[in-house]
Amino acid sequence: MHYSVMLKETIESLNLKENGTYVDATLGYAGHSSEILLRIKRGFLFAFDQDIEAINYSRQRLSKIGTNYQIIKSNFLYMKEELAKIGISKVDGIVFDLGVSSPQLDNAKRGFSYLHDGKLDMRMDLNSELSAYDVVNNYAKQDLIRIIQDYGEEKYASTIAQNIVTTRQIKPIETTLELVDIIKKSMPYKDTLKKHPAKRTFQAIRIEVNKELEILEDSLKKALSILKVGGRVCVITFHSLEDKIVKKVFKDATSVDKVIASLPEVPDSYQPKFKLVVDKILPNDSEIEENNRSRSSCLRVIERIKED
């Protein structure tokens, strides 16, 4: 069962219009899309995803609500270009839910989970060439250290990378629990008791496989560029690396250039085109209790207030 994090807060923040045009940049299992579609009887929804399993499930779910939607199999990096192909240049709102969906995590064969045994995979797009198996078995030690340090913020990155290299020299590392075992042996026992010892490393490898951070900043800037005046972008992040990127993009979009800001009077043409609607919303205690995976989430919302 997929649980959409901060669903109520996100839908309210979108400030939906019944005849508006909206984009779900991360369709997943249609949690946000379903709620949007219910509220835009005379509008239209475009939804993006790379995962064919999620798309097939969501198409069935959305078809029970209405026909005023289109699912586009594509990475959200290409949202602007894909919409342009069908004549859409401006929209009223966009939502990004950057978390991995529960069905992906819970499906052992997808290889995202450190709790279930399955082949090392972690591809959002099953047609992608690079998988977690390739990263773990083929990347040089220094590249593994960099990824686990930078994307996982894991202090034992060097030891984990060394033990991965040592193990794969004997035989390839093929499954998630094989990798978990290596990670556990790479850190003091006391550090395996606080949080799951593999969480940070699995996050790092998943980010590398799907190039998540590399595409996020460009994707957000493109999203802002196609927003109508009064339109909003809502972004839900799940770790500090994503959140730093979102925070920076939003701050840049809502601030006057430092050089211009030093003038006695800032010309109107240089005033920000956007305003922050929500700097940060965190899940409430009841949501965390109901869905523990929401505990690290954060919602930020920005609105266009002027044309370019």
Q: What is the pLDDT, as a whole number, of residue 6? A: 92
The total of structural domains in the chain comes to 2
CATH value at residue 206: 1.10.150.170
Query: What is the Cβ-side half-sphere exposure of residue 44, based on CA atoms within 13 angstroms?
Result: 9
Q: What is the mean pLDDT of the chain?
A: 93
Alpha-carbon radius of gyration of the chain: 21
Range of the domain at 28: 7-97+215-304
Residue 123, pLDDT above cutoff 90: yes
Residue 228, pLDDT above cutoff 90: yes
pLDDT digits (tens, 9 = 90+) for 90-107: 999 999 999 877 777 778
Is residue 25 located within the same domain as residue 158?
Answer: no
Residue 165, pLDDT above cutoff 70: yes
CATH value at residue 55: 3.40.50.150
Is residue 276 located within the same domain as residue 240?
Answer: yes
Average pLDDT over residues 293-302: 91
pLDDT band at 270 (very low <50, low <70, confident <90, very high): confident
Is residue 205 located within the same domain as residue 118?
Answer: yes
Is residue 116 located within the same domain as residue 186?
Answer: yes
Strand-pair partners of 209:
none
Residue 266, pLDDT above cutoff 80: no
Q: What is the pLDDT, as a whole number, of residue 233? A: 98
From 112, 115, 106, 154, select the one nearest 133 (Cα to Cα): 112
Average pLDDT over residues 250-264: 84
CB 151, CB 132: distance < 8 Å? no
Q: What is the pLDDT, as a whole number, of residue 3? A: 65
pLDDT band at 70 (very low <50, low <70, confident <90, very high): very high
Residue 105 lies in a domain: no
Average pLDDT over residues 40-60: 95
Is residue 124 located within the same domain as residue 204?
Answer: yes
Contacts of 15 (CB under 8 A, 6+ apart): 93, 230, 232
pLDDT digits (tens, 9 = 90+) for 183-223: 999 999 998 888 899 999 999 999 999 999 999 999 999 99
Q: What is the pLDDT, as a whole number, of residue 2? A: 55
Last residue of a domain, one of 210, 241, 257: 210
Average pLDDT over residues 80-93: 98
Q: What is the pLDDT, as a whole number, of residue 308? A: 84
Q: What is the pLDDT, as a whole number, of residue 163? A: 98
Q: What is the pLDDT, as a whole number, of residue 195? A: 87
pLDDT band at 156 (very low <50, low <70, confident <90, very high): very high
Rounded alpha-carbon distances, angstroms, from residue 215 to 69, 87, 150: 25, 24, 16
SS (H, E, C) the chain: CCCCCCHHHHHHHHCCCCCCEEEECCCCCCHHHHHHHHHCCCCEEEEEECCHHHHHHHHHHHHCCCCCEEEEECCHHHHHHHHHHCCCCCEEEEEEECCCCHHHHHCHHHCCCCCCCCECCCCCCCCCCCCHHHHHHHCCHHHHHHHHHHHHCCCCHHHHHHHHHHHHHHCCCCEHHHHHHHHHCCCCHHHHCCCCCCHHHHHHHHHHHHCHHHHHHHHHHHHHHCEEEEEEEEEEECCHHHHHHHHHHHHHHCCCCHHHHCCCCCCHHHCCCEEEEEEEECCCHHHHHHCHHHCCCEEEEEEECCCC
Residue 102 lies in a domain: no
In the structure encoding, which two tokens stand for residue 258, read together? 């430092």
Residue 103 lies in a domain: no
From 47, 38, 158, 156, select the one nearest 93 (Cα to Cα): 47
Is residue 85 located within the same domain as residue 128?
Answer: no
